[in-house]
Chains A and B, each alone.
Chain A
Amino acid sequence: MLVDLIQNTLDGLTAGAAYALLAIGFTLIFGVLRRINLSYGPAIMLGCYAATWFHVQFQVGLLVLAALTLAATVLAGAYVERLCFAPHRDRSAIAAMVASFAIWMQLEELATLVLPNHLYAFPALYEGGPLSLGPFTLRAEALVMFAVTVLACLALQRLLYRSRFGLSVRAVIDQPVAARLVGINLPWVFVRVFAVASALGAVAGYLIVASAGQVTPMLGMWSTLKGMLAMMLGGLGSLPGAIVGGLALGLIEAHSQWFFGPQVRDLTAYFLLFALLALRPSGLWTTPRHG
């Protein structure tokens, strides 16, 4: 029993690390733009599909695949920013969100046109079996996932707190009007935030796909939903919150799946989100400025 509990906690934290990465990207965009980017996951999916296509055609190596995923995701992210967010900067948040949904449809169809099957193999990070630590097992991918998540968080921390770009990003998050008044070039900040968020999403997507060993068209919706859920659980627009939310989501899912099965796992996550929103809409996090 205790062994199972600890094993589930390990598995939950592994999944949670991936959720946290997804949520950080989501949160960066929400924190800076105060917009929800539904195309976040589909852009990641397109990146993974582009890499898979290259793999199917040319059998490239792991690092090349990772680089391809990153490049294609950032490119797709830039496309989303130009078409859905730049034009609606000072206007309706709803219009921007619906536009990002429309582009989601585009990206998903584009990906499935290039690779129409329901499932494609993706080269795994590590071919061997899981590592055993006494009574527990841990997949090698999980360690990579943790390590990369920690590294990505540290890199983001440096970027946000040690660079001029980071300073302007934090200024825009905290005081958007003042940031504009002191002459921060908002459009340029937005574009770069999108690029950083997409890159983080691509890292998460690559790790998820490589540890699953496959890509499916579900990846887009899955990434958007998990990233959004983790972001909301941790508190809208807060970066440490996104990490906590991601890990919490992973833990909740792992434990409720073990006790009640996969359907109740999803049900629990959504119920928690609903309850948090209904009971503490402003208590756990700051109120939106112009959501």
Chain B
Amino acid sequence: MNSIKSGYTCALIVAMLLLLQACTPVSIENNKRILVQGKFVTPEGAAIQGIRVSTKTDIKGFLSRGQGTLSEALSDENGDVSMVSLDVDPGILCLDIKNTSNERRLQSFTVCDSSFSRKETLLDLGEFVLKEIIGTSIIIRHNSDVYYTLRSEAPSVRIGIEDWNELSSYDDLDLASKYTTRESFLNSENQVDTLRVTTTNNSTVYLKLQSGLEEYTYEFEVNEIDASYEIDL
């Protein structure tokens, strides 16, 4: 009887410890600070104000997972940003760079690297060039199922379906296909589908459509913001 009781006690203690682990998802390193600094400019060298730089970490608790901000700051009118960040131990530190201005769409970056932490006390971004995003919509009207292959030679091309918001929904592990080629299927039920191609460099995009036995090949220049092409099959 006693052994059963002590068994229950042990299980209860283990459960409480696990719960405690779940409640304290991230450990911040004692006695450590990281200086994050840099200057954001356009390709022409003009300073960009309002770029938000954040240090983040993955929270890997027993029951929870999410992201938390360790520090964040906005670039000033000279494009300069300088902030002091906490560090995590253990954990991975991520650097998140996003434009907060609605006036134009600029590149955003999230870089996660465990080597940021442990040793580093300085993350110097230097002069960081942010390019404007060029987006082109290819509207396809079709009455039957269509297989398509969309390919671009520019390494930074993103290819998405439907609208801007879906661009970020790709699996991060699928980087190669995200940036170079996308092959998929357009269901006949939709009748109108939009492929949206975004890039920061002028580039040529090749589109191959296959509907039944018919095959069509197109070539588009993605070189202006918010251009649009229409294809009727």
- Chain A bound to chain B: no
A residues contacting B by CB (< 8 A) are none
